């Protein structure tokens, strides 16, 4: 474990606790307010809450693992020897990343056929992206890390292509009230996701130690809160706008 | 850690437990009774419950941190050496203070455009206010504290201006039954919030030690219960009154 200062340890603990609160609060909000959107959008909103709930669970585990890996007594920090299990993040992503793409597809309310095809395709690509990253993440050998990073980038770029080219027609066909917001959700998703492959490269360019660890934990937490909680709220707003348009029409 | 008496330690522990109970109870009340208000106000009422839920979570953490920082055995109090993490308060405020302003905007039921603009502006100002306070809070240097206090006061004053000048027209346009109550919520919010920058100044005027710590913990708890639980109940009452007026009309 890197030799953190008390300040670094606390900052990460506070940020992990912030994520627990943000994910839990978003989950409850989405589930309680799903009745506010029209029936066809309720699955998308519920699913957005499922994603933040899964993240809530994993942040709880990550927080406990972090606070068990160190003790602070009389202002002095010591590693307890217990491992900090960062792999909970990969377990979380395996579930949440495919579902995030499915909630975006669902709120667009395409035909049943298109919804199925695009959800399966994007979901499998996302699963592949996370799974291919893992062998690199647990390796200390730079060439191995680079290999798996490159393999993982292929489905990532394919997802970007699908979101911007494959979905273009479907987004143009959205009602005007929701169109620009759906488009923004795509950009925000890709911007938040871009953080992960960049962080992955850190150990390979020599950015390690306590500062790197602190930065990585805080960065992952912010990227997760944006990609899951903020996107979830935006999916709800899109569903609300589309419900109003369709009731009025 | 300051050398508290057993009485001071217990008083703070009891006050923190009071806050857990008050926040948890308000959360459940707001969520259980949201069906009593008309549909357009349910998001505001649910959100008020989300705010008290986030505070409930953080008071749980603060209470545990407080009771782990001291032990009382045979009437003698000893510091355990474990740190009391007061920063949970800042983590809480980062989430709840922007949301508190959003719930006030939502219950006014302005146009979609105004709701969005005002929520984003007030939300970001609130976020900035809390974030700028933090570097000062964790510093022991008076000039550093004063710098961040002053910076944090700028968004605070801007929020006061927005609430009293920016919202004046919108408040005048509210139905008579709800108008004066919405106006009072503004005053109560600002009155409760004024407590925080005052407390922030305490260490700089030499008010430290066990008495100051006891006073600060109790003061923060009361201010939080007023600003979140009491305001949340008032938001519910406003929503109820507006629902009745609109059904009658």
Using a CB-CB cut-off of 8 Å, the residues of chain A touching B49 are 32
Using a CB-CB cut-off of 8 Å, the residues of chain A touching B91 are 14, 17-18, 21
What's the pLDDT tens digit per position in B165-197? 989 999 999 998 899 999 999 999 999 999 999
Cβ–Cβ below 8 Å for B91 and A20? no
> A76: helix, coil or strand?
strand
For testing the chain B interface, which of A13, A14, A19 should be mutated: the one with the most B CBs within 10 Å? A14
Q: Does B203 have pLDDT greater than 90?
A: no
- On average, the pLDDT of chain B sits at 94
Q: Does B77 have pLDDT greater than 90?
A: yes
Mean pLDDT by runs of 10 across the 249 residues of chain A is: 90 97 98 96 98 98 97 95 93 96 95 95 96 91 94 96 92 90 92 91 88 94 96 96 79
Which positions 208-227 of B are in contact with A (Cβ < 8 Å)? none
What's the pLDDT tens digit per position in B21-63? 999 999 999 999 999 999 999 999 999 999 999 999 999 999 9
Tell me what ipTM this predicted complex has: 0.93
Rounded distance between C-alpha atoms, residue A120 and residue A234, angstroms? 22
| Beta-carbon contacts below 8 Å between A and B | 56
Q: Does B43 touch chain A (CB under 8 A)?
A: yes
User: What single string gives the DSSP state of each residue in B226-246?
Assistant: IIIIIHHHHHHHHHHHHHHHH
CA distance A98 to chain B (A): 27
Cβ–Cβ below 8 Å for A72 and B83? yes
Distant-in-sequence, close-in-space partners of B50: CB < 8 Å, separation ≥ 6: A25, A28, A29, B99
Region label for A74, one of left (φ > 0), alpha (ψ between -120 and 50) or beta (otherwise)? left
Backbone angles phi, psi at B73, to 5 degrees: -130, 130
Site of tokens 């308000």 = B26
Displacement of CA A117 from its chain's centroid (Å): 22
Site of tokens 């579930």 = A95
Please give the structure tokens belonging to residue B120. 């984003």
> What's the pLDDT score for residue A206?
87
Rounded distance between C-alpha atoms, residue B123 and residue B102, angstroms? 7
Using a CB-CB cut-off of 8 Å, the residues of chain B touching A17 are 58, 61, 88, 91
- pLDDT cut 70: percent of chain B above it: 99
Cβ–Cβ below 8 Å for A72 and B82? yes
Q: Does B247 have pLDDT greater than 90?
A: no
> What's the pLDDT score for residue A25?
98
Cβ–Cβ below 8 Å for A73 and B82? yes
Which positions 54-93 of A are in contact with B (Cβ < 8 Å)? 72-75
CA distance A244 to chain B (A): 11
Cβ–Cβ below 8 Å for B88 and A17? yes
Rounded distance between C-alpha atoms, residue A201 and residue A139, angstroms? 12
Using a CB-CB cut-off of 8 Å, the residues of chain B touching A75 are 83
Cβ–Cβ below 8 Å for B91 and A22? no
Of the partner residues A20, A25, A72, the one whose CB lies closest to the CB of residue B50: A25
> What's the pLDDT score for residue B239?
96
**Residue in chain B lying closest to A10 (CA):** B85
Of the partner residues B34, B43, B50, the one whose CB lies closest to the CB of residue A28: B50
Q: Give the CA count within 13 Å in the CB-facing half-sphere of B56.
A: 17
Cβ–Cβ below 8 Å for B95 and A22? yes
For testing the chain A interface, which of B38, B48, B81, B98 should be mutated: the one with the most A CBs within 10 Å? B81
Cβ–Cβ below 8 Å for B83 and A6? yes
In terms of DSSP H, where are the helices of chain A? 6-33, 42-69, 88-108, 112-137, 142-161, 168-172, 176-201, 210-224, 231-248
> What's the pLDDT score for residue B177?
85
**Residue in chain A lying closest to B116 (CA):** A237
Element (H, E) at B172: helix B168-172
Distant-in-sequence, close-in-space partners of B174: CB < 8 Å, separation ≥ 6: B108, B182, B242
Average pLDDT of span B202-222: 91
Burial B84-123 (b: 16+ CB within 10 A, else e): bbbbbbbbbbbbbbbbbbbbbbbbbbbeeeeeeebbebbb
Rounded distance between C-alpha atoms, residue B97 and residue B220, angstroms? 14
pTM for this predicted structure: 0.94
CB B134, CB B88: distance < 8 Å: no
> What's the pLDDT score for residue A204?
86
- pLDDT cut 90: percent of chain B above it: 86
Burial A183-209 (b: 16+ CB within 10 A, else e): bebbeebeebbebbeebbeebeeeeee
Cα A177-A180-A184 angle, rounded to 5 deg? 140
> What's the pLDDT score for residue A92?
96
Of the partner residues B42, B87, B94, the one whose CB lies closest to the CB of residue A36: B42
pLDDT grade for B139, boundaries at 50, 70 and 90: confident
């Amino acid at each position: 474990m890197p030799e953190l200062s008390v300040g670094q340890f606390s900052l990460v603990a506070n940020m992990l606790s912030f994520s627990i609160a943000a994910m839990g609060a978003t989950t409850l909000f989405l589930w309680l307010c799903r009745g506010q959107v029209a029936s066809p959008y309720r699955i998308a909103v519920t699913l957005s809450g499922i994603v933040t709930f899964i993240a809530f669970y994993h942040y709880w585990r990550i927080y406990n693992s972090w606070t068990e890996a160190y003790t602070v007594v009389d202002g002095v920090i010591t590693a307890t020897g217990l491992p900090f299990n960062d792999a909970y993040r990969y377990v979380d992503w395996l579930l949440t990343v495919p579902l995030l793409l499915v909630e975006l597809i669902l709120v667009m309310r395409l035909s049943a056929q298109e919804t199925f095809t695009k959800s399966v395709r994007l979901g499998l690509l996302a699963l592949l992206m996370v799974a291919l990253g893992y062998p690199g993440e647990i390796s200390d050998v730079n060439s191995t890390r680079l290999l798996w990073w490159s393999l993982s980038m292929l489905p990532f770029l394919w997802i970007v292509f699908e979101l911007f080219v494959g979905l273009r027609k479907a987004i143009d066909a959205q009602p005007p009230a929701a169109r620009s917001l759906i488009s923004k959700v795509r950009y925000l998703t890709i911007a938040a996701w871009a953080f992960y492959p960049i962080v992955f490269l850190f150990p390979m360019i020599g950015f390690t130690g306590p500062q790197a660890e602190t930065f990585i934990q805080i960065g992952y937490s912010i990227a997760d809160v944006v990609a899951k909680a903020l996107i979830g709220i935006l999916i709800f707003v899109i569903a609300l706008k589309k419900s109003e348009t369709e009731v009025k029409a």
